[in-house]
């Protein structure tokens, strides 16, 4: 019991105490031992931040009965403790919040945490940007990312200037290589549908064959997938919500990073009518 108290105290010291950590974890809190006191201050801070984000996303639900599977806690402690990127911490925190349930064997979140660990910080940001953009553009449309014909209708063109802004690129970063890394990586994992990218002429040429609109600057053309939308739902703390509700107007999203879309920056590709 001393070990448990020490471990919880280490994690809970920054933002509300050990009781809040225990509320999130439920009985799984028993897995936290005294070894945490030997962690570096940075590792402790990283995990504290993840728990704080999970608590924010749970809101009043934190008072409801529930627990986090031990495998999920293991991923948070082993991998999340080395996560110092803010948006990746959002994903860890969101999946942690999503994992809390009354079903002891429901450890689906462990899969999404491993996926988060396997993705680069660029790919995480790109995934978030694409789906946050899609939600802003199509919320309330009645479409579902689980239906292929709807996904085709949700194809969008992201100009390179927009990618510079939303990806927050800095001087010295190899932008073209990073965008290719994000597109090919997420497409391979079925997290997005990557149509093509390149110059305005190249994209317009391919668009013409599809009956889509012309574009006037370099960029990329992407669309959603069912798995990509499902992962986004888990990452924002709504893993228990059906992925088909990704575009539902009543979706309760809490404390999410905002993605600003400059007027005219993003084009809907399929021609209307």
Answer yes or no: do 77 and 148 share one domain: no
Distance CA 99, CA 86 (A): 20
Strands 156-159 and 219-223: antiparallel
Range of the domain at 143: 121-268
Answer yes or no: do 21 and 125 share one domain: no
Q: Which two tokens stand for residue 268?
A: 């809907």
Answer yes or no: do 175 and 100 share one domain: no
Half-sphere exposure of 231 (CA within 13 A, CB side): 26
**Do the Cβ atoms of 6 and 37 come closer than 8 Å?**
yes
- Does 111 map to a domain? no
**pLDDT value for 181:** 96
Give residues with Cβ within 8 angstroms of 39, minimum separation 6: 10, 81
What pTM does this model have? 0.89
Looking at residue 139, the DSSP 8-state letter turns out to be: T
Backbone angles phi, psi at 14, to 5 degrees: -90, -25
- Does 115 map to a domain? no
Distance CA 65, CA 189 (A): 34
Task: Tell me the average pLDDT across 164-179.
Answer: 92
**pLDDT value for 259:** 82
Give residues with Cβ within 8 angstroms of 228, minimum separation 6: 127, 130, 131, 145, 186, 190, 191, 192
**pLDDT value for 201:** 96
* pLDDT interval class at 33 (50, 70, 90): low
Q: How many domains does the chain have?
A: 2
**Do the Cβ atoms of 196 and 221 come closer than 8 Å?**
yes
Sheet holding 267-268, edge to edge: 193-198, 219-223, 156-159, 267-268
- Does 11 map to a domain? yes
- Does 116 map to a domain? no
- Does 202 map to a domain? yes
Answer yes or no: do 126 and 97 share one domain: no
Q: Which of 75-84, 168-177, 201-210, 255-264 has the lowest mean pLDDT?
A: 255-264
Answer yes or no: do 48 and 165 share one domain: no
Answer yes or no: do 129 and 214 share one domain: yes
């Amino acid at each position: 019991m001393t070990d448990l108290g020490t471990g919880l105290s280490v994690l809970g010291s920054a933002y509300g105490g050990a009781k809040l950590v225990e509320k999130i974890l439920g009985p799984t809190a028993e897995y936290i031992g005294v070894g945490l006191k030997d962690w570096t201050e940075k590792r402790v801070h990283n995990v504290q931040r993840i728990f704080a984000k999970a608590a924010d996303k749970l809101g009043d639900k934190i008072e409801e009965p529930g627990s986090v599977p031990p495998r999920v806690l293991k991923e948070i402690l082993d991998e999340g403790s080395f996560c110092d990127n803010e948006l990746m911490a959002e994903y860890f925190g969101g999946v942690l919040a999503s994992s809390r349930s009354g079903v002891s064997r429901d450890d689906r979140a462990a899969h999404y945490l491993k996926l988060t660990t396997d993705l680069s910080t660029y790919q995480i940001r790109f995934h978030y940007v694409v789906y946050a953009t899609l939600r802003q553009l199509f919320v309330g449309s009645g479409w579902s990312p689980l239906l292929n014909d709807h996904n085709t209708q949700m194809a969008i063109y992201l100009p390179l200037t927009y990618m510079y802004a939303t990806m927050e690129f800095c001087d010295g970063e190899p932008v073209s290589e990073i965008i290719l890394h994000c597109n090919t990586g997420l497409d391979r994992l079925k997290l997005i549908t990557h149509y093509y990218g390149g110059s305005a002429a190249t994209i317009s040429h391919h668009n013409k064959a599809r009956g889509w609109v012309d574009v006037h600057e370099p960029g990329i053309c992407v669309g959603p997938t069912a798995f990509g939308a499902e992962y986004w739902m888990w990452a924002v703390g709504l893993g228990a919500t059906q992925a088909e509700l990704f575009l539902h107007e009543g979706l309760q999203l809490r404390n999410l990073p905002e993605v600003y879309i400059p007027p005219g920056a993003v084009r809907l590709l399929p021609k209307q009518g």
